[in-house]
Structure 1
Amino acid sequence: MDLRQMRYFTVLAEELNFTRAARRLHIAQPALSQQVKALERRLGARLIERGSTGCTLTAVGEVVAQEARGVLARATAAEERIAAAVAGRHGRLNLAYTRSARGGPADALVSAFRERHPEVELRLQTGWTAHNVTLLLAGQLDAAFVRPPLDAPELTCLPLGEEELLLAVPADHPLAATRSRISRRRIATEPVILWPRENGPGMHDLIIRQLWPDHGPRIVREEPDDEQLLLAVAAGHGVAPIPEGRAHALRVPGIRLRRLTAPTPTVGLGLAYDPRVDARALQFLLSLARDR
């Protein structure tokens, strides 16, 4: 059935008076009468009985009015869903955290997005930067928090900020007793605990260039994530560089956090995405990130 005819007939069924129904619909009464007759011809049945003061619905008319209300309600809901999707209020955003950056700017941005766009389905996961980049390139993510620099020219990385890189040392280590900043020379031969380079090659190399610029670190152990890394430090196996926010968030006992002399080492946080993707929800996330 024609949606306009159904809407006209539904109003007539509620008013049971052509004059009042035409007034509600903002059309002329003859036009309403013609649309109702056209609907009756299409269905092959009489829908109303006209009287001197109004009209009544036939048995078929009662059924048509009831079904038309349902069809119109579903059509209205569908239009609203489509309009919401066009406006970015519906849809899905596949987003990944990087393990070393939970809390701080990443969580703040996600919270702001949830508040601003509550009707977008937000699917979150957590992975290392290299893993997130792989998923982005495969089209399985819309955006991901990463630690730049990235070796992926197909992607764009929107900077979100920098944080200081600290050195975690065992609580009973001689470096734990000093309150002053530690020089690179003093850690040149220290045993070092790091995570595997393949987890985030850009960040891994950046850390080494900043802390061990001459000969590289003496890596004695690799751990899969920051918590395990700090636990290994607490056990006395070596020292480890760690972003300040992550170190304070984990709060592993048995370690001391120390700062290094200038130039202050830092690591960045970025939001990576494929600029060829034009999803509305992604554009809203990028707009929020640029405004922060």
Structure 2
Amino acid sequence: MTLDLYKLEHFIAVCEEGSFTRAAERLHLSQQALSSSVRALEREVGAPLLDRSGGKVSPRPAGESLLTDARVLSGLAHSALQRAIRVDAGDKDVLRIGHTPAVTVDEVTELIYTARESGVSVETEVNQRYPAELTEQLVYGEIDIGLCRAMSPTGGISRDVVTWQPLRVAVPSDHPLASAEKLTLLDLQDESIMVWGTPGNSGYTDFLVQQCRSAGFEPHIFRNPVQGTPPISAVVGTGHIAFVTARPGPAAGGRARVIELDQAARVPLGALTARHLENPSRDAFLRAATNTQLD
């Protein structure tokens, strides 16, 4: 028995949207055609895959199992097609790197320089991606490496720590703490700390909150309403501060300052990869970049 990739993509869309109506809109299909496709897949599998009894369609146990592998299979097919198109067009091998807003372009650039100094001369293409986009594009082979802080890998994705970086704090240049040469975490107990992810839904935010709790206080968290802005520039003109990994000193054209934290933890720089997709350039890059000192 073989599985129809189109049916698998239909099934994935329904699971991700939680609705046949929204999935049909996403796929540009009629709802009847989509429902028929998924039911045909259930007959092929020989088991019910979806629970349709509630207000939201959700995968049953057999569907959960199939969903993980379906994403991998769909990703393999998509990646193979894109690779064939690039080879036919004579395109050069380009390593496509995505990074979350918590990882700066400067940090990615330093990893690229390190890899090149080690003899990995592949061309690179770097773009910022939100976590959900990062995972999806990795699975479908649209990017090769996803750099993040503390994202948990999902089906078909693995995560390795490339390096650990010292945690520092960015403050606006007119902030009362801006004149300090060094701070402790406890010095931040009365400050409004800007984060990008919601506690409980962001591994990196949870990591930062835990650092504050370990120092003896419950942090005052403010979620940045302008997602995608780098942490250093995001604090400019606000009363907030933010945890960063940038080097200490003036930043954002002098409108902010990065300050050392005494006895601060080191934070991970992780690399997400789709290991079901072979990529020698990706593997060589990560070997060269791992344990790079970015402080």
TM-score by length of 2: 0.54
- The corresponding residue for 2:285 is 285
Paired residues of 2:170 and 2:241 also in contact (CA < 8 A):
yes
- The corresponding residue for 1:187 is 188
Name the CA distance, whole Å, in 1 between partners of 2:116 and 2:233: 34
Paired residues of 2:96 and 2:145 also in contact (CA < 8 A):
yes
Name the CA distance, whole Å, in 2 between partners of 1:253 and 1:145: 28
- The corresponding residue for 2:174 is 172
One-letter amino acid of the structure 2 residue matched with residue 210 of structure 1: Q
Name the CA distance, whole Å, in 2 between partners of 1:91 and 1:176: 45
- The corresponding residue for 2:203 is 202
Q: Identify if the C-alpha distance between structure 1 residues 232 and 95 changes in structure 2 by more than 3 Å, giving closer, same or farther.
A: closer
1:219 to 209, 215, 221: 221
Shift of 1:217: 2.5
One-letter amino acid of the structure 2 residue matched with residue 165 of structure 1: L
Shift of 1:163: 1.4
Name the CA distance, whole Å, in 1 between partners of 2:132 and 2:126: 17
Q: Identify if the C-alpha distance between structure 1 residues 209 and 134 changes in structure 2 by more than 3 Å, giving closer, same or farther.
A: farther
Paired residues of 1:166 and 1:259 also in contact (CA < 8 A):
yes
- The corresponding residue for 1:96 is 98
Shift of 1:268: 1.5
Paired residues of 1:99 and 1:126 also in contact (CA < 8 A):
yes
Give CA deviations for 1:115-151 in whole Å, capped at 9, x if unaligned: 8465x56443222444322321333222222223524
Moved over 6 A (4+): none
One-letter amino acid of the structure 1 residue matched with residue 159 of structure 2: C
- The corresponding residue for 1:106 is 108
Give CA deviations for 1:79-122 in whole Å, capped at 9, x if unaligned: xxxxxx9xxx964433223433335553233346568465x564
In structure 2, list runs of 5 or more residues that go unmatched: 1-86
Paired residues of 2:98 and 2:147 also in contact (CA < 8 A):
yes
Paired residues of 1:129 and 1:147 also in contact (CA < 8 A):
no
2:164 to 159, 162, 165: 162
In structure 1, list runs of 5 or more residues that go unmatched: 1-84
Shift of 1:218: 1.8
Identity between Structure 1 and Structure 2 (%): 20
Name the CA distance, whole Å, in 1 between partners of 2:109 and 2:217: 36
Give CA deviations for 1:61-91 in whole Å, capped at 9, x if unaligned: xxxxxxxxxxxxxxxxxxxxxxxx9xxx964
Report the secondary structure of 1:258's partner residue. strand
Q: Identify if the C-alpha distance between structure 1 residues 217 and 283 changes in structure 2 by more than 3 Å, giving closer, same or farther.
A: same
Larger of the two Rg values belongs to structure:
1
Paired residues of 1:188 and 1:212 also in contact (CA < 8 A):
no
RMSD: 3.6
Q: Identify if the C-alpha distance between structure 1 residues 148 and 191 changes in structure 2 by more than 3 Å, giving closer, same or farther.
A: closer
Paired residues of 2:170 and 2:235 also in contact (CA < 8 A):
yes
Shift of 1:202: 1.6
Paired residues of 2:167 and 2:245 also in contact (CA < 8 A):
yes
2:239 to 229, 237, 240: 237
Q: Which has the higher helix share?
A: 1
TM-score by length of 1: 0.55
Shift of 1:209: 1.1
Paired residues of 1:164 and 1:243 also in contact (CA < 8 A):
yes
- The corresponding residue for 2:53 is none
Give CA deviations for 1:195-227 in whole Å, capped at 9, x if unaligned: 2349x8221211111134466432345132344
- The corresponding residue for 1:62 is none
- The corresponding residue for 1:275 is 275
Report the secondary structure of 2:163's partner residue. strand
Q: Identify if the C-alpha distance between structure 1 residues 205 and 164 changes in structure 2 by more than 3 Å, giving closer, same or farther.
A: same
Shift of 1:232: 5.0
Paired residues of 1:148 and 1:268 also in contact (CA < 8 A):
yes
Paired residues of 1:156 and 1:273 also in contact (CA < 8 A):
yes
Name the CA distance, whole Å, in 2 between partners of 1:234 and 1:153: 38
Paired residues of 1:193 and 1:221 also in contact (CA < 8 A):
yes
